[in-house]
Amino acid sequence: MRESELVNQLERLHGIGIALSSEHDSQRLQEIILLGAKELTNADGGTLYTVTGDDKLKFEIMRTHSLGIAMGGTTGVDIPFPPLPIYLENGQPNLNMVAAYSVAKEQTVNIKDAYLTEGFDFSGTRKFDEKTGYRSQSFLTVPMKNHENKIIGVLQLINAIDPASGKIIPFSESHQRLVESLASQAAVVLTNKNLIDGLKNLFESFIKLIADAIDEKSPYTGGHCQRVPRLTMMLAEAAVNTQNGALKDFSMTEDELYELKIAAWLHDCGKVTTPEHVMDKATKLETIFDRVHLIDTRFELLKAQEENRCLMQAFDAANAGQPVNSKQLRYEIKSVKKRLDDDKSFIRKVNFGSESMRPEDQQRVKDIANYEYVNDAGQKVRFLSDDEVHCLTITRGTLTPEEREIINNHIVVTINMLESLPYPEHLKRVPEYAGGHHERMDGSGYPKGLRREEMSVPARIMGVADIFEALTSKDRPYKKAKTLSETLTILTRMKREQHIDPDIFDLFIREKIYLKYAEEFLDKEQIDDVDEERILGAS
């Protein structure tokens, strides 16, 4: 080989090595390896195999230039051949097939002419040649050993072509050394890629495990930690792709989108520390159990005591020789019981949280609290305790301000947990994205009171996704799942009051992200007509 040709091949090998080190997609990596080997040796065809966990050689990529064959890899064309066994059924090495032999013996096999070589089974090759008119002649089969000297695949080239004459020639020793060098580099790159992919899969699985644990912890938020990431990414991709509006110049790289996805999966991780009796509080009086049942019992006791009081008054009047109107007595007892039954129904009703509680209903709770009954010790006591009144007069939902503070603290815990992790550079913003979904554009949110200009677009995207999911969720204890029109009416108000980002919300409507999400996750009865023009025109 001339010196200039050798230098040229080494430069090509170097270029292939650079391409390998900069590629992150497994299929494209494999293609670079096979096509690079074909280029270095001017081979007409080639196959790349990988070693599977059950000791077989799986066909990954096949190329034959003269026959126009391109299968596997990024072609989308499946390779119809089954994997080759490296070992026979009796456990002995499969030395009949060249690729398996190369793995079993851990050595390169350079064959000048398959038809003249003994010791290998080329019957399949001959059948292929008979069918296609091809002539499989020279073979170069190189095991791919990584840095731990472990074989992870095989690179097999067929029919080296003489550039001058166009004839099939054997693979030269220099060809063999070049391909062995490439195979070694490629094995290390593929191993590193597999290790990185393995760690990435482990990382993602652990994150999803945390999210699943939070969803399992509470039957009322089951699926929230899984649905929010889905909606967040739908909205982020729409923001990246839009050509209109305020976000037309917004962009995110693949790594940045991945960073946002991880943040979305972890956005509620702090809820692992939130007490179940607060997170699962389905009614205002619920603690370990719903205390409304105790109040039901008190009502029955008070009715009996009121009836007894009326009867004792009538008895005392009769003993004093005064007339007793039995009809009036029955009416009075019936009226007292009716009033107390109404009060009991009212307490049971307000015990379930709602979007808001009227001031007159709060006052009625306080009036009922001032009733008195006689306890087991014969003492007159107030009908409702201060804590029961405090809970029953909650304006919105089922949580007291103190319990709301406990719930809100989950985001502080989330930020503290996430900020304590040693992130690689491409995940540095996970705490910011995950920790900002309860902030408001006017600075009235929590935990940091950030304003719109202090927040990144991805953090604002997650805020819209989190609220929309919560409003449409059908598993919250204190409310019915809202329809699309109800939810978007609330979000329109929140946009007007500067609670959510207006540009992101407009994109949410304009690109129909709300509808795409609804068709995937909501019940049919929740998907009603939405007046998009009215919503987009609302100021």
* Cβ-contact 64, 158 below 8 angstroms: yes
pLDDT at 197 (0 to 100):
84
pLDDT mean across residues, the chain: 89
* Per-residue pLDDT at 328 exceeds 70: yes
Mean pLDDT for the stretch of residues 155-170: 94
Q: Examine residue 275 and say whether the peptide bond preceding it is cis (omega within 30 degrees of 0).
A: no
> Left, alpha or beta for 516 (phi > 0: left; psi -120 to 50: alpha)?
alpha
- Window from 30-44, 293-307, 375-389, 427-441 with minimum mean pLDDT: 30-44
pLDDT at 40 (0 to 100):
87
The residue that leads in pLDDT, 480 or 416, is: 416
Q: How confident is residue 102, by pLDDT bands cut at 50, 70 and 90? A: very high
For CA atoms 101, 107, 113, 119, give the dihedral sign: negative
Residues 206-217 as b or e (16 or more Cβ within 10 Å = b): ebeebbeebbeb
Q: Which two tokens stand for residue 480?
A: 């019915």
For every residue of 236-294, DSSP letters joined together read HHHHHH--SSTTTT----HHHHHHHHHHHHTTTGGGGGS-HHHHT--BTTBSSSBTHHH
* Cβ-contact 250, 504 below 8 angstroms: no
Residue 62 to residue 48: CA distance in whole angstroms: 7
* Cβ-contact 523, 473 below 8 angstroms: no
| Amino acid letter for position 209 | L
* Per-residue pLDDT at 1 exceeds 60: no
Among candidate residues 458, 491, 455, 453, the one with its CA nearest the CA of residue 472: 491
* Per-residue pLDDT at 473 exceeds 90: no
Mean pLDDT for the stretch of residues 140-152: 90
- Determine what percent of the chain is predicted with pLDDT higher than 90: 59
* Per-residue pLDDT at 433 exceeds 60: yes
Q: How confident is residue 292, by pLDDT bands cut at 50, 70 and 90? A: very high
| Amino acid letter for position 161 | I
Mean pLDDT for the stretch of residues 511-518: 95
Residue 223 to residue 215: CA distance in whole angstroms: 6
| HSE, side-chain direction, 13 A CA sphere, residue 41 | 35
Residue 145 to residue 158: CA distance in whole angstroms: 20
Residue 299 to residue 274: CA distance in whole angstroms: 34
- Window from 44-48, 119-123, 207-211 with minimum mean pLDDT: 207-211
Query: Within 10 A of 194 (CB to CB), how many other CB atoms are there?
Result: 14
* Per-residue pLDDT at 7 exceeds 70: no
State residue 482 phi and psi, 5-degree precision.
Answer: -85, 155
The pTM (predicted TM-score) of the whole model is 0.71
